Amino acid sequence: MKSRITVGMIGLGTVGCGVAKVLLGNASLIAKRVGVPIELVRIADLDITTDRGLSFPDGTLTTDAQSVLEDADIDIVVELIGGYDPAKRFILKALENGQSVVTANKALLAVHGEEIFHAATSAGVDLGFEASVGGGIPIIKALTEGLVANAVTSMFGIMNGTSNYILTKMTEDGKGFEEVLQRARDEGYAEADPTFDVEGVDAAHKLAILVNLAFGTTVNIKDIHTEGISRLSTIDLEFAREFGYTIKLLSIAKYLDHEIEARVHPTLVPSTSPMAQVGGVYNAIHVVGDAVGDVVLYGQGAGSLATASAVVSDIVDIARSRLKNIAGRVPVASYQWTHRAPIRLRPIEEISSMYYLRFMVVDEPGVLSQIASTLGEKNISISSVLQKGRQQGQTVPLVIMTHRSSERSVQAAIQAITRMPFVSESPMLLRIEGAES
Amino acid sequence: MKSRITVGMIGLGTVGCGVAKVLLGNASLIAKRVGVPIELVRIADLDITTDRGLSFPDGTLTTDAQSVLEDADIDIVVELIGGYDPAKRFILKALENGQSVVTANKALLAVHGEEIFHAATSAGVDLGFEASVGGGIPIIKALTEGLVANAVTSMFGIMNGTSNYILTKMTEDGKGFEEVLQRARDEGYAEADPTFDVEGVDAAHKLAILVNLAFGTTVNIKDIHTEGISRLSTIDLEFAREFGYTIKLLSIAKYLDHEIEARVHPTLVPSTSPMAQVGGVYNAIHVVGDAVGDVVLYGQGAGSLATASAVVSDIVDIARSRLKNIAGRVPVASYQWTHRAPIRLRPIEEISSMYYLRFMVVDEPGVLSQIASTLGEKNISISSVLQKGRQQGQTVPLVIMTHRSSERSVQAAIQAITRMPFVSESPMLLRIEGAES
């Protein structure tokens, strides 16, 4: 048996530093669990001069990523630079060299997963990506192993910590999106360019990875209907609260009639539901399996050490297999490669949901009846109506909650209503999950 | 590579039927994930005549457990008869024969785990017991693999569905323990003899297993301080609520100064905490790791199909290793056998906690001052006091909440107070977790 497992890391940023800290700090504990030491023998980063408060043996740090990829003595390559290129080239090169790979790169896997998974499968080496979804939450292992007995019927969750932090603050403090975003930036919870986080792109990337694993199919990220939180206004959070709901940015996947629904959008969830309680930078993922029923996993969705926990669990997983001289024990994409198959992704127009609709209307007699009648014509049944602050002749918000209706009908009704003379600005449409229809 | 994996099951009760249903119903899905079919080739049960709504090929059912254990063509033996004997003999026999074993038998593993884990390690075969804790929740896999990078600093959770169901109903309906227990029996949520469930024994069994895995040590089940819920009165649930707490039967383990605290008792948790929201037969397990921080896993703690989900995940795990001709990839008790070590289990007298103390006292001047002064002498600091319903000269409840104090001091103070002439009946002592001290 090998007397140690060697790890080379590319990228010594926030997560990279966390991985180094965990591998060094818990080295003895990890060796007791694995049987041999796991040694971080080389770290490549463009910046090897900044003091990160970590000390490594001479020769560990390098600016040359190739020296990690070309070293046949390195068992596991950990890619933590993020982005598409050169991350993808590095990973494919490592796989080709027979090195196992661990990555936290959700954007890369969501967009180029098919190619990378195929490369790992063909090369007969392992690829770990637990850290790509849910930070420290072991959701990839749950889907591919712990819940392997189940046909997954649905999954939904809060998969982006930054947007959840912003929504939580908007809800608690009644402040607008821009103001809270600025504060999140100041506190280090949002990046300078927060587009991926606040527009739902990052949450869609993670959903694409989970759908791939749960259903054994590749989704095109462009086919996932994605809406972010930037257009939300505090009055919607407030109205939702009055109806007993909290607004969360949910990633949702459902398996229905041999098709998949996959979408990311701000969603009203009952304020008493576990999902509504998930605050700040925490993530929670709810999986429904045909045998297990409801399972929820909750934890820190980001952060240096929490994400490192996931990266190191992948390293240990691969180390344990390397020590037995095997690879591919769990197929990289959860299903055996030849058993993965295309499944139709249902366009958003074909879903059905309950809806929260907010119209800005001139407060005058007959408005509600005209809107209600248009909804009725489209077969959309209203469950409640709320109109705040009567100001004859002024513009006021009118909120309508619907029973389960078809998205296509709702969109058509909204178009018709938007053309009515008493409607100002675009209506707000939000979907509701987790409530009785 | 083997063209199939064969499973023999001993015990066709509630969980056994669930396992058969999942293996048969999801056979094609599981084969796509594993690569070969997993076939349930023999089932031993003392009763093979009752119609369970399941059909098996001729020759599958037998009353002879030995025919499962002695069949060299059976790769994996699933033990689902529960209890200590003959379950233990069957498991040891299977391990000796080189058959891998899957069991849901928490009582057996909590009491004889050391012997059984050693037998599996010596025989070089795998032993799966995911279903022994938390029903369908993949907590064993989380501790041994998903969170493997972490030193666990604490774990606590609701690990017994029956007692949680009873406590939830007592809290919601304000009904007493005996009345709710009877209803739980009628509804099938409690067994005819519910002692193990309501007295905390089952929760202690599960905690012993988790402590073993998290800390690499064997606990003697007798050393786990265990209190059940039968002595709880509805007034304590009500007082707790007034202070902002909900009472749950928690299994608690902490790693402090190279020692372990492990205890099971009714516990006040903040009503706003995730643990307080866990209702009915659901379980939730909160793990704190030094890297990952807080992780919570939530799901059905019992039930035929949920538990079967865990059993079948073990079967798949072992099948995947068998197909690679390996075993022992993950050590059966999480740590390499030679790296497990004794750790002192701290007796309950040595812990510190916040406390809820309820005294039944004669309502007369000077009572509170005498009690408060006794607590003060023992260095116990009071955070709040509640006395309901003044009835001069009558017996009334007096509730005192303390800041963090030593258990030894609190017990001594209670003994002294109990001897005071105005105190009737034994005081109620409950511990508080998850609040600021």
- B389, pLDDT greater than 80: no
ipTM: 0.96
- A101, pLDDT greater than 80: yes
Residue in B141, B148, B292 nearest the CB of A316: B148
What is the least distance, in Å, from the CA of A249 to any CA of chain B? 20
- Other Cβ atoms within 10 Å of B389 Cβ, number: 8
> What is the pLDDT at residue B436?
73
Contact at CB, A291 and B130, closer than 8 angstroms: no
Which amino acid would we find at residue A355? Answer: Y
Tell me the per-residue pLDDT of A54-80, one tens digit each, with 9 for 90 and over.
999 999 999 999 999 999 999 999 999
Task: Please report, for residues A20, A32, B339, the alpha-carbon distance to residue A38 in angstroms, rounded to integers and kept in the order given.
Answer: 11, 11, 16
- A46, pLDDT greater than 90: yes
Instruction: Tally the residues of chain B.
Output: 437
* Strands B282-289 and B152-158, sheet pairing: antiparallel
Tell me the per-residue pLDDT of B220-238, one tens digit each, with 9 for 90 and over.
999 999 999 999 999 999 9
> What is the pLDDT at residue B392?
79
A306 to chain B: nearest residue by CA?
Answer: B292
A136 touches chain B (CB under 8 A): yes
Contact B427, B400 (CB under 8 A): no
Residue in B18, B25, B298 nearest the CB of A295: B298
Contact A159, A224 (CB under 8 A): no
- A436, pLDDT greater than 90: no
Confidence at B188, pLDDT banded by 50, 70, 90: confident
- B437, pLDDT greater than 70: no
Task: Please report, for residues B119, B187, B387, B413, B421, the alpha-carbon distance to residue B370 in angstroms, rounded to integers and kept in the order given.
Answer: 58, 47, 15, 11, 11
Confidence at A435, pLDDT banded by 50, 70, 90: confident
Contact B372, A71 (CB under 8 A): no
- Residues of A known to be catalytic: 206
Contact at CB, A324 and B320, closer than 8 angstroms: no
Chain B residues touching A317 at Cβ < 8 A: 145, 148
Lowest mean pLDDT among A26-40, A345-359, B383-397: B383-397
A13 touches chain B (CB under 8 A): no
Average pLDDT of chain B is 96
The angle at the Cα of A234, spanning A233 to A235, to the nearest 5 degrees, equals 90
Contact B229, B166 (CB under 8 A): yes
Contact at CB, A305 and B291, closer than 8 angstroms: yes
Contact B403, B381 (CB under 8 A): yes
Contact at CB, A336 and B33, closer than 8 angstroms: yes
Please state, in angstroms and rounded to a whole number, the distance separating the CA atoms of residues A126 and A331: 8
> What is the pLDDT at residue A115?
97
B129 touches chain A (CB under 8 A): no
Residue in B22, B299, B336 nearest the CB of A33: B336
User: Chain A 18-47, CB below 8 Å of chain B: which residues?
Assistant: 18, 21-22, 25-26, 29-35
- A437, pLDDT greater than 70: no
Tell me the per-residue pLDDT of B330-359, one tens digit each, with 9 for 90 and over.
999 999 999 999 999 999 999 999 999 999
**Optimal mutation site among B137, B295, B316, interface A, most CBs of chain A within 10 A:** B295
What is the least distance, in Å, from the CA of B124 to any CA of chain A? 13
Tell me the per-residue pLDDT of B199-217, one tens digit each, with 9 for 90 and over.
999 999 999 999 999 999 9
Average pLDDT over residues B17-33: 98
User: Chain B 267-286, CB below 8 Å of chain A: which residues?
Assistant: 274, 277
Confidence at B135, pLDDT banded by 50, 70, 90: very high
- Other Cβ atoms within 10 Å of B271 Cβ, number: 16
What percentage of chain B carries pLDDT values higher than 90? 93
Tell me the per-residue pLDDT of A105-126, one tens digit each, with 9 for 90 and over.
999 999 999 999 999 999 999 9
- Other Cβ atoms within 10 Å of B21 Cβ, number: 18
Confidence at A390, pLDDT banded by 50, 70, 90: confident
- A203, pLDDT greater than 70: yes
Global confidence as pTM? 0.97
Average pLDDT over residues B15-42: 98
> What is the pLDDT at residue A142?
98
- B1, pLDDT greater than 90: no
Residue in B130, B277, B330 nearest the CB of A277: B277
User: Chain B 223-262, CB below 8 Å of chain A: which residues?
Assistant: none
> What is the pLDDT at residue B388?
77
Tell me the per-residue pLDDT of B277-334, one tens digit each, with 9 for 90 and over.
999 999 999 999 999 999 999 999 999 999 999 999 999 999 999 999 999 999 999 9
A146 to chain B: nearest residue by CA?
Answer: B138
Confidence at A297, pLDDT banded by 50, 70, 90: very high
**Optimal mutation site among A28, A121, A217, A292, interface B, most CBs of chain B within 10 A:** A292
